[in-house]
Copies of this chain bind each other. A is one copy, B any other.
Amino acid sequence: MAVWFNIKLLITMGVERKSMRRGGGLRRHSVLAWLRMWRVVQKVERAAAEHLRAYGLNYAQFDVLAHVGAAEGSRQKELGESLHVTKGNISHLVDQMERRGLVSRRQEGRTNRLYLTEEGRRLFEEVVPAHEDLVHRLMSALPEEEQAQLHELLRGLDRSL
């Protein structure tokens, strides 16, 4: 019987370490690492979403704001790839932000280039550092050095995916 079966439970119940040894030797770190990663992302996202709500943004909208603010003139295509959402969703998101007066489209051939409005820029300057701080606080549950290790490992993983 595969290890998987009770992993979520094991983690929930905190007995993962014990069970890892039961089967004889440590195995399937891959899967356990994945489950942990998933949980961590859930938690951080939840905290971040709650924090962003104070600014009237959800996480996806924040991402658009941050990306466009960092790279004025981005195309929607690029945005979609960077944020891992479909182009339909990007269309919708940009609609929202435009209606709210935070970003503006400038059509250029068959692509749209995106820019922040003045108000968008103001919100950007306010929200982005705050969000960065939040993430930093959360991640600082790990000591500085381990954060760096983590970063390095994840970078390797990301690149070969």
Contact = CB atoms under 8 A, between A and B. Distances in A.
Interface stretch (A28-36, A50-58, A91-99, A105-113): A28-36
A151 B82 contact: no
Which has the most chain B C-beta neighbours within 10 Å: A70, A141, A150? A150
A100 interface: no
Query: Chain A's interface: helix, strand, loop or mixed, by majority?
Result: helix
Interface residues of A, number: 66
18 contacts: A5-B66, A5-B69, A5-B70, A7-B70, A8-B66, A8-B67, A8-B82, A9-B70, A12-B81, A29-B144, A30-B136, A30-B140, A32-B151, A33-B148, A34-B44, A37-B150, A43-B158, A142-B157
